């Protein structure tokens, strides 16, 4: 049962989902994310994108950073304000 496990005992993907939930819990005006899809399988990457798009449409600004193998990087900024 997940509720009885320490965060460090969970998979990387499960930790990422928990951290997303923690980030949106207080309905912040802006969320910064560093490689938020790292450790997620394709199903959860798709779900993650849909969740972030929904949050963004409700007015939260999303800032994310992503680097692949340290050679390339990108930053995304989005707001519907």
Return d(Cα 14, Cα 33) in angstroms, integer.
16
pLDDT of residue 59: 87
Q: What's the pLDDT score for residue 13?
A: 84
Q: What is the pLDDT of residues 17-29, one digit of tens each?
A: 888 888 889 888 9
Q: Which tops the pLDDT comparison, 36 or 80?
A: 36
d(CA 29, CA 61): 6
Q: What is the pLDDT of residues 41-71, one digit of tens each?
A: 889 888 988 998 898 888 888 887 776 545 4
CA angle, residues 53, 36, 25, in degrees to nearest 5: 65
* pLDDT of 73 over the 70 cut: no
Task: Concatenate the DSSP letters of all residues of 9-68 into one string.
Answer: GS-HHHHHHHHHHHHHTT--SEEEEESTTTT--HHHHHHHHHHHHHHHHTT-EEEEEEEE
């Amino acid at each position: 049962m997940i509720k009885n496990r320490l965060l460090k005992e969970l998979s990387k993907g499960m930790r990422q989902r928990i951290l997303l939930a923690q980030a949106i819990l207080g309905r912040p005006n802006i969320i910064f994310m560093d490689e938020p899809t790292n450790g997620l399988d394709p199903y959860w990457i798709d779900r993650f994108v849909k969740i972030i798009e929904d949050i963004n449409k409700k007015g939260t600004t999303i800032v994310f950073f992503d680097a692949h193998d340290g050679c390339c990087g990108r930053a995304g900024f989005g707001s519907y304000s």
